[in-house]
Every structure is written in C-alpha cells, then in structure tokens.
Structure 1
Amino acid sequence: MATVTPYLCVADAAAALEFYAAAFGAVETSRWTDPATGSIGHAEFTVEGALVMIADEWPEGGVYAPTPGRSSVSLVLTVADVDGLFERAVAAGATVDRPVTDSPHGRGGWLFDPFGHRWHLSAPGSADVSKAELQAAVGDDYVIS
C-alpha cells in the first residue's frame, strides 16, 4: 500500500512545532535549522505514529504557507480519542471549523491550526456501513454511488 506523507509549509516552523506538541502531542524527531537565518529548512514530527514533515516558507523556491482559514488541502488524522485531542487542540489555539459529531464513517471534527492548515480529527466507525445506510445519513444532499 502506498503512503503519502504531508509536508507542511508555515510562516514560523518553530512556533508550529510547539503548537503541534501542545495540541496533538506531537513528538519532534528531526530539525534542520539554517544557522545564518534561524529558519527551519526541514523538520519531522509524529502524532500517534503518523509522520508529518514541516518547514518555514521558502520564497526562492515558490513555497508559501497557506492563508489562514483558506486551505486547499485537509489533513485527516485518525486518532484514538477524537474528543480529547480536539479539545486539546482548541485549547492550544486551533479554531473550530466543524465540531466533533458522529456519522456513519465514525466520529470526527474539523479545525484550523493557527498556521492555516485544516485538520480533520477522526476515529473510524464501522467498516460495514452499506451504501444505503450512507445515503440515509446524507439524505438528498448527495447521491452515493
């Protein structure tokens, strides 16, 4: 099975690493700092075994942080305690996009971190949800095929 590792760009990677530790219990595993500028060219951290890479903006390479509240990509993080981690992230400075709720897919909620990235914290539901059950859950808003 293929793996995709997110590589985040932020305006202040050192502050972001502190936030992710406080919000998600992230464990930093690597950091490369430019001694001339103090910027972080590359760092890595894990959250419940999931690897995430991060760096400061790199304008020379065309790499910029997202505009807060306007991210084109969402990070789905499957965790053991959605409610606890969601509350912890909000207490650390995340903004609620959609609160934690139950759905046929499981329990989850959406938030923005202070650096502009959108996260979906989730705990999987039953893998045995039928298309009919999904259609009943979403009603006429979508067509499940």
Structure 2
Amino acid sequence: MNTISEAFPYFCVADADAALAFYGEVFSAEELFRLTEPNGRVGHLELRIGPMTLMLSEPFPEMNIRPPSGDEGAYCLHLHVDDCDEMAQRALAAGAEILSGPADQFYGERSCRIRDPFGHHWLLGHSIEEISHEEMQRRYTALIG
C-alpha cells in the first residue's frame, strides 16, 4: 500500500513578504527557506507554524496559480491553539476579518473562523471539554433540529 507520510498546505498569496509578516505576527510563523526569481517573484516560501509546514508562492498566472478571489472559502485550515480568543484578536489587529465567533461549539471546542488578508480561511480553536462521538452526534442532531 502507498501511504501518505505528511501533508503540507500550499497557498498562493499576492505578496509573500506581507504574508510572512502576517503569519509571523499572528501564528508565530518562522521562515524556513525561499526560492526567489531574478525579477523578485517568490516561487516558493516555506514557513513553520507550530508543528506544521505551510508552503506559499506568489501568483503564476502562466501556470494558472492564483490567490483566492472573492469572499467565499473553498477550504478552511484548522489550527488547534492554546487560546482562540487571544489569537483571533491578534489576527484582527494584523488585518484579518473575523467571520464567526469566538464561541463555544457543540463539539467541545471554543473556536472562531477568520479570513486572512490574502483570502485564506482559518478555523482557530481550543478544547473546552472532552466528549464522546455519541454525545457529539446527539448535540449535532439537537442543533440542526
């Protein structure tokens, strides 16, 4: 069987240096390395955010690689953090938009959703209680009616 050993989110951003500054301020991201073209375009930038490697590139329209456009998010990267309220405030101060929360959720987490200045959606959350899958299903069923 062919197994997956790791997964790396790979985002396209309009400005890699601005993204590095934002992710550094909000998530304490550290630059691991980058590949830069002679014209200055960042072809690849790797960041460490906690235990995760996040990869970035600037747009490559010639390869149909572009940052998100519009307000809708097709995905959301979930970060389990120590304090989602504090991180949400840091994100807001650094230019993110809070889409929902922070609020206690039926699945035993306090969480919020943000959209970073580059159009990427993040779910920030911390555990507030341990619950069984059965209890989570019961709460979910009650929530949706």
Interval of TM-score (by shorter of Structure 1 and Structure 2): 0.7 to 0.9
Q: Percent identity?
A: 33
Partner of residue 16, structure 1: 19
Q: Structure 1 segments of 4 or more deviating over 6 A?
A: none
Partner of residue 58, structure 2: 56
Q: Is the 8 A contact 1:95 1:113 kept in 2?
A: yes
- How many residue pairs get aligned? The number is 141
Partner of residue 119, structure 1: 122
Could you tell me which amino acid in structure 2 is paired with residue 90 of structure 1? L
Partner of residue 65, structure 1: 67
Measured at CA, do residues 23 and 133 of structure 1 come closer, stay the same or move farther in structure 2, by a change above 3 Å? Answer: closer
Partner of residue 98, structure 1: 100
Could you tell me which amino acid in structure 1 is paired with residue 56 of structure 2? I
Unaligned runs of 5+ in 1: none
Partner of residue 88, structure 1: 90
TM-superposed CA distance for 1:15, in Å, is 1.0
Give the root-mean-square deviation of aligned CA atoms.
1.9
Aligned partner of residue 21 in structure 1, secondary structure = helix
Partner of residue 34, structure 2: 31
Aligned partner of residue 40 in structure 2, secondary structure = coil
After TM superposition, the score normalised by the length of structure 2 is: 0.86
